Every structure is written in structure tokens, then in C-alpha cells.
Amino acid sequence: MSELAWWQRGVIYQIYPRSFQDSDGDGIGDLAGITTRLRYLVELGVDAVWLSPIYPSPMADFGYDVADYCNIDPMFGTLADFKQFADRAHELGLKVLLDFVPNHSSDRHPWFEESRSSRENPKRDWYLWRDPAPDGGPPNNWLSRMGGSAWEWDAPTRQYYYHAFLREQPDLNWRNPRVRRAMDDVLRFWLDRGVDGFRVDVLWLLIKDARFRDNPPNLAYKAGEPAHHRLLQTHTEDQPEVHDIVRSMRATLDEYGKRVLIGEIYLPVPQLMKYYGANGDGADMPFNFQLLNARWNAGDIANMIRDYNSALPEHAWPNWVLGNHDNPRVASRAGPVQARVAAVLLLTLRGTPTLYYGDEIGMTDGDIPPDQVQDPAELRQPGIGQGRDPERTPMQWNTSSAGSGFTTGKPWLPIAANTSVHDQEDDASSMLSLYRRLLSLRHSNAALVQGTIENVAAFGDVLTYERRCRNLRLFIALNMGAKEATVQAHRGVVLLSTLAGRDGDALVEGVNRLAAGEAFIAAI
């Protein structure tokens, strides 16, 4: 497997820093806390740690409103703490990935403060400013993804500025070469400090229509959806010029050796494929989010796997994501039994998997009382299910203390006490043990890392496929239903099953039993 890049061989683990480990008792996770938990990640079996934003920020959107791209928010520590974290991670063999948030800054970033100071300021064109419409209203009909108009009136300079998200998050003007150079300097700042790659926030939104034309109405809009879905995002996302930016980022990372560029991109598969670029000059991995919103149905997922792999350009490397900080947790979406099946699915599909912290112990969405809601997405559009607090609750390390081993203070969000790492680590049948076994098997079996994926099929509630690499041949079967099923297989041996006691069982040629909610990996 040595011919593959580290990010092709490895498994990425996403940490939401506010919620992983608090070291100082303020109820908010920090870098020093994360550093103390790195050994746990090594024992789990992951290869890279991706941190959601840790930059200085007013926290209007919990760090996605960046006030300084080249520093650490005191909430999380200092640059010295970051160095200690990165050095320790590298010492343990873990790669370090950072979130890069280039679409917008905080309105308190010095760049924007200069930009809004006057129309003549040299940084005025670093952001998107427009005159009012003839009636004095916003320049066009573009809508914020956080509700309401995407245009905010600035009375002193008598123009509107554009914000795809909160008004505290003005969008940068990526058509300005000075902005591009400044952001390139940001990448270099962190690359010089040993960062192994970046996950680029909302990569597909970076460029907007140069003529600022209205977005057309979405005739398929349904009541209860987010307000911005009323319009098709024709002129505010996935513009052709964005690919030049991706190539530029790729070129900068290439100067530093084997660094990985990952793009957050919520687009249909045909459009997603364009972000790989031509012959490897785009993103290494445009995130494949299909499993986040998929119906938990064997036929649907079989079609998804086939279509995605068929669409990949020849030079492209696939990837799969089961959970993240913006979507309900898999154990809440599919239930605790099927969350185990989902773990087998994620870690046996072809491509690089990304795990979300806590999914390895089956954490579910937290219960957030109305008076403890933190997320601006929910506060601005209550009642439509956009709040992301439930999937961001603190890591559950133990159930024997009020702070669940996460903090000695009051946690920033309520912590569920239904399970924990401590409860599961010595239980051979636990979710944590399943993940450890899966990750160990993945790292030791070339078919699961570099093998082809073949014979993807669905038979009722059962999804099956094979992974092949030279003389290695694995058969994966997943019962995504609530009833016992049968599966046709070749003679072989079960290497791993979610059903206790089945590891090592023989498969017979022909019909084999598959318990309700069981998944197995077999050598055939």
C-alpha cells in the first residue's frame, strides 16, 4: 500500500474543538485538552485529526467568523499550545488538518473594518459592496443561508455588503487578486507550522456572479424548508471561475510536499466531480456527503455507490463521510443497531473515510432545551430543524462525573450521560470495540484500502459488495433491515461481524444467514 498517499491510506477523525476536551474548567474544549486525548485516537486507529476552526473569532458562528486567520482564539489556547498539539500528534504518527474558512471573514476582521471605513479605502474591494436598487432596497434578491436578505445596509458609506451567512460574516471578494494573495499567505503560515492539509469551508461558494443577477425562483420549494431554498442558487454558487481558485490552492500545497486539500462541497455528483480538476490539479477530495442524507435503504445506497464510483475521473480518489458538525448524528438518523451496520459500510467502501468525534461510541443527538440553544442557524430560523447544537454536544468520556470527563465546569452545551468511552472500552461487544476492530482490519488488509469495489448489489434489505486486491477477495454483506435475511455467498470465513461470536465462522457456498441488523466482512 506504500504507493498510495497517506491521505489515501488513512482515516480522518473530525474534532469539534469546543466539545472534545476541556483542560481549564471553563466548559469549552481547548487545544491542551485535545492534546491529552491524542493517545485515545491512536488506540482507536485513526490516522489524521481535523480540527474545526480555532482562529480568533467573536463566535457569532462559533469560529466560522474569523477575525484573524493567523492566530489561535484564547478560548482554545495560544500558538504555543497549537505547536505542542501538532508536535505531539506528529510524534504519535497522526497528521494534522485545519479548517480553512476563505469565503467570509468576521465583520471584526481588520480587513473588513478597513473596507467599511470608506468607499476610498484600499481594501474596499476586498468585500462585495453594491449600491442600493432604484427603490433603495437591496441590490438584488440574493438570500442568506441563515435567513433573510444576504445584503446588509451600511449607513455611513451608503452601500450594501453581501453575506452568504450571518451579517457578521461578510463575504470576501475572490475576484480581487490581492485577496487571493492574502489568503495564499494564510495557507503558507500554517503550512510552515507543519499542518498536513486543509478542509476548505464552503469551497463551492467562493465566487459569485460578476453581474450580480437575481437568482431564479425555485418552483420545487416546499414550506418548512430553509428560506434561501425559495431561490435556485444559480448566481451565488458553483461559478466556473471557482476552479481557478482551487487550482491555485492546490499549487500552493504542492510546494510543501504531500499535503491534502479537501473541499466542503454540497453539490450533485456530476458537479462535484469537477472539483477534482484535470489530472490532479484540483482538490484531492471534494467531500462526498451522500450518506449524510441518504435514505437507509439497501437499494438506494447500492445505486449511490455504483453511480459515485462510475462518475469518478480516472485520476480521482473517492471518499465517504458518515457524520459531521452540520448534520444529525448517524445513531440518531439510523438508530443504534443500524449505526453499527453504518460503521461497517463506511470503513469498507472504496476511498478515504471521515469519522465524526463520538460516532465511534454511538453518540446520539443531544437534547437541547430552548433556553440553552446556541446555534444562530436555529435562533434565526426557529422550528425548521436547522439547529446544529444536537450534533455538537461534548464528548462523553465517562458517566461517573457531572462533566462526563469532558470538563470540571459547566459544559457549553448539555451532555448526554447514556454512554461513554469508559463504559465501552472493555466491552468486546461495544460500538467502540467494533470501530477499533474495523480500523485494525482496514489497516491490515490491502483489499479494504486500495482494492477495487465490485458486484455492488441489493437484495431486499441486504446490501452486498466485494473488495479485491490481487489475490485478496473480501465479501461484505449488510442487513439494513429489522428482520433476519439470507445472502448468497462463496465459501469463505467471516473476519468480522457485528454479531457477537460470529468472527471466524465459515461461509458456505450458497445461502447463508444474516441476522437482523448484522453486517459482516468475509474472506472468500
Confidence at 348, pLDDT banded by 50, 70, 90: very high
Report yes or no on whether pTM surpasses 0.85: yes
- Same domain flag for 204 and 302: yes
Whether 58 has a pLDDT exceeding 90, the answer reads: yes
Domain count of the fold of the chain: 3
Q: Is residue 388 part of a domain?
A: yes
Grid cell 440553552 is found at 372
Task: Look up the CATH number of the domain holding residue 511.
Answer: 2.60.40.1180
Q: Which of 185, 241, 255, 427 is catalytic?
A: 255
Identify whether 255 is a catalytic site residue: yes
Q: Which of 48, 89, 6 is nearest to 449 (CA)?
A: 6
- Same domain flag for 29 and 120: no
Q: Which of 36, 54, 35, 42 is nearest to 13 (CA)?
A: 42
Could you read off the pLDDT of 234-258 as tens digits, one per residue? 999 999 999 999 999 999 999 999 9
- Same domain flag for 198 and 232: yes
Could you read off the pLDDT of 97-150 as tens digits, one per residue? 999 999 999 999 999 999 999 999 999 999 999 999 999 999 999 999 999 999
Say which residues have a Cβ less than 8 Å from residue 93's Cβ, sequence separation at least 6.
42, 47
The pLDDT assigned to 340 comes to 98
Region 36-57 average pLDDT: 98
Q: Is residue 294 part of a domain?
A: yes
- Same domain flag for 274 and 377: yes
Task: Look up the CATH number of the domain holding residue 144.
Answer: 3.90.400.10
Whether 1 has a pLDDT exceeding 80, the answer reads: no
- Same domain flag for 94 and 125: no
Could you read off the pLDDT of 230-240 as tens digits, one per residue? 999 999 999 99
Radius of gyration for the chain, computed over Cα atoms and rounded to the nearest angstrom: 23
The pLDDT assigned to 378 comes to 87
The pLDDT assigned to 298 comes to 98
Whether 25 has a pLDDT exceeding 90, the answer reads: yes
**Residue 444 burial by Cβ neighbours in a 10 Å radius (0-12, 13-18, 19+):** exposed
Q: What is the mean pLDDT of the chain?
A: 96
Q: Where are the beta strands (DSSP E) in 360-491?
A: 452-459, 462-469, 472-479, 485-489
* Partner residues linked to 511 by β-bridges: 488
The pLDDT assigned to 376 comes to 85
Whether 523 has a pLDDT exceeding 70, the answer reads: yes
- Same domain flag for 326 and 362: yes
Whether 198 has a pLDDT exceeding 80, the answer reads: yes
Task: Look up the CATH number of the domain holding residue 315.
Answer: 3.20.20.80
The pLDDT assigned to 384 comes to 60
Whether 393 has a pLDDT exceeding 70, the answer reads: yes
Confidence at 2, pLDDT banded by 50, 70, 90: low
The pLDDT assigned to 427 comes to 97
The pLDDT assigned to 379 comes to 86
Q: Which of 73, 201, 375, 461 is catalytic?
A: 201
- Same domain flag for 143 and 195: no
- Same domain flag for 387 and 465: no
Confidence at 280, pLDDT banded by 50, 70, 90: confident
Q: Which of 354, 513, 524, 520 is nearest to 441 (CA)?
A: 520
User: Domain span at residue 486?
Assistant: 451-523
Percentage of the residues of the chain whose pLDDT score is greater than 70: 99
- Same domain flag for 191 and 42: yes
Segment holding 39, helix H or strand E? helix 38-44
Region 328-345 average pLDDT: 97
